[in-house]
Each structure stands twice: as structure tokens, then as C-alpha cells.
């Protein structure tokens, strides 16, 4: 357990930051009774992820169950360690949602689902899953290319943050652009609204696993993978 202490703390703090910053940005629109521009939401989430991935990548830097599960399936993280990572991520998301509920007016939190996501009325369940899967594929592919790959460019979390900005702009109006099961789980649990919640687990996990395997087997698998703690 000792070797997991730092990664667990990093995963908790990083996911807390993502849910708090992303949620607060969305809820501010309800406070001001004016929709927050999509570009503002995209930049807020992209910037905080760029910063926190950079700050935590020395010990983990996942901040997303889709990344963690992809790493485990690719053989770069023990399944037991992956479980602890996901629990820490979900815990950070729940605590962030609790803080948002405490700091924003009750009506605001309820209207904005504490910054959670929901699918647009004209988007089917399968289309929503597909959109989340594709967007998460790009995110996890960027993670492997800039964090996992020893020959990748050393740009910290910058590329990951930019990927999130692009993904939010692309699918935000359709699904809310979660790309992160924990990001959706925290607000859903605290608000009590689980409408379509399974979409934000199925889509990102599928996309994350496919991206991890594609990158692993195409660019990295020249011999046995080095398993992480």
C-alpha cells in the first residue's frame, strides 16, 4: 500500500480539481442567469487538466478511470493498483461535488446538476456512447503519446489539456463531453441525478481501452511492456 500512497493522493487531488473547476464554471452560468460560452467551459477544463496532469504525472497523472483502465488493459498498471486509482478518482469527484453543493445556492446546483453532464434530447443513447468513446480515444491516445511513451515529446499535460479543449468544443453540446467516468460520477451521486449515467462509463472506457491498445501495440510493444506499480 505504501507505494500507492502518493498516486492515490495525486489522483484524488487532480480529479477533485477537474470536477470543481469544471463544475464551478458551468454553475456560474446559472448564477448569472446566462449560459456560459462553450469555449469558456472547454478552456477551464483543458487548463486545469493540463496543470494537474503536469503536476501529478511524476507519480501517476491519470485523473480519469478511462486512462487508468486503459493502462491496466495495456499491461502498464497492475489491476489491483488500477482499482485503488479509480476509487481515489471517484472519491475526489464526489468530494468536489459536495463542495460545489455547499458553496453554490441550492437552486443553482439543482439546475446545473452540480456541473454534471446530460445528453441532448436529439442525441440517441448509442450516438452519445459513440461520441464519448471517440473523444476519449483521442484523450487517452494523447496521454500515451506524451506521458507513457518514453520517446514522446516532453510537454507535460499541455497536449492532454488541448485535447480536452478540442473534445469539449466538438461534443460538448451533444453529451456534455465527459470523457471521464469519475467526472460524471461525482456530480451524479451528490445531485442524485443518474439519468443516462451509464453512457459516461461505457463510452469513455471503450474509447480508453481501444486507444491504449492501439498505441501500445503500434508504437510501444517491441518487447514485454514495463508494468507500472
In whole angstroms, give the CA distance from residue 71 to residue 152. 16
The predicted structure's pLDDT at residue 222 = 63
Give the rounded distance of the alpha carbon of 142 from its chain centre. Answer: 13
DSSP states along 75-144 = TSB-HHHHHHHHHHHHHHHHHHHHHHHHHS-HHHHHHTGGG-----TTS-HHHHHHHHHHHHHHHHHHHI
Residue 225 is predicted with a pLDDT of 47
Looking at residue 33, its pLDDT comes to: 78
Exposed, middle or buried by CB within 10 Å (0-12, 13-18, 19+), for 121? exposed
For 5, 113, 115, 215, the CA distances from 97, given in Å and listed in that order, are 23, 9, 8, 33
Centroid of chain to Cα 45: 10
Per-residue CA distances from 146 to 17, 18, 126, 134, 220 (Å) = 21, 20, 30, 19, 12
Q: Global pTM?
A: 0.94
Measured CA to CA, the distance from residue 75 to residue 153 in angstroms comes to: 22
Burial 139-168 (b: 16+ CB within 10 A, else e): bbbbbbbbbbeeebeebbbbbbbbbbbbbb
pLDDT at 32: 81
Region of residue 75 (left: phi > 0; alpha: psi -120 to 50; beta: else) = left
Q: What is the pLDDT of residue 1?
A: 56
Of 41, 43, 42, 63, the closest CA to residue 52 belongs to 63
Q: How many CB atoms lie within 10 A of CB 39?
A: 12
Length of the chain in terms of residues written = 229
Domains of the chain: 2-220 (1.20.1080.10)
What's the pLDDT score for residue 227? Answer: 47
Q: If phi over 0 gives left and psi between -120 and 50 gives alpha, with beta otherwise, what is residue 33? A: left
User: Tens place of pLDDT for every residue, the chain, 229 residues?
Assistant: 558 999 999 999 999 999 999 999 999 999 887 889 999 999 999 999 999 999 999 999 999 999 999 999 999 999 999 999 999 999 999 999 999 999 999 999 999 999 999 999 999 999 999 999 999 999 999 999 999 999 999 899 999 999 999 999 999 999 999 999 999 999 999 999 999 999 999 999 999 999 999 999 999 986 444 444 4
* CA atoms of 126 and 107, how far apart (whole Å): 31
Amino acid at each position: 500500500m505504501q507505494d500507492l500512497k502518493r498516486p492515490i493522493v495525486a489522483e484524488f487531488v487532480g480529479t477533485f480539481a477537474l470536477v470543481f473547476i469544471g463544475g464551478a464554471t458551468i454553475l456560474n452560468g446559472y448564477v448569472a442567469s446566462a449560459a456560459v460560452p462553450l469555449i469558456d467551459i472547454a478552456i477551464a477544463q483543458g487548463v486545469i487538466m493540463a496543470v494537474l496532469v503536469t503536476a501529478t504525472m511524476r507519480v501517476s497523472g491519470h485523473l480519469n478511470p478511462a486512462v487508468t483502465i486503459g493502462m491496466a488493459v495495456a499491461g502498464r498498471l497492475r489491476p489491483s493498483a488500477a482499482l485503488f486509482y479509480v476509487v481515489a478518482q471517484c472519491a475526489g469527484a464526489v468530494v468536489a461535488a459536495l463542495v460545489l453543493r455547499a458553496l453554490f445556492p441550492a437552486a443553482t446546483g439543482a439546475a446545473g446538476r452540480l456541473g454534471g453532464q446530460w445528453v441532448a434530447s436529439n442525441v440517441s443513447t448509442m450516438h452519445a456512447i459513440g461520441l464519448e468513446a471517440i473523444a476519449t480515444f483521442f484523450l487517452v491516445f494523447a496521454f500515451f503519446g506524451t506521458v507513457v511513451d518514453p520517446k514522446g515529446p516532453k510537454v507535460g499535460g499541455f497536449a492532454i489539456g488541448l485535447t480536452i479543449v478540442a473534445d469539449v468544443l466538438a461534443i460538448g453540446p451533444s453529451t456534455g463531453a465527459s470523457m471521464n467516468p469519475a467526472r460524471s460520477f461525482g456530480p451524479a451521486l451528490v445531485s442524485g441525478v443518474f439519468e443516462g449515467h451509464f453512457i459516461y462509463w461505457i463510452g469513455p472506457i471503450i474509447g480508453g481501452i481501444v486507444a491504449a491498445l492501439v498505441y501500445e501495440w503500434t508504437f510501444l510493444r517491441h518487447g514485454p511492456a514495463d508494468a507500472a506499480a
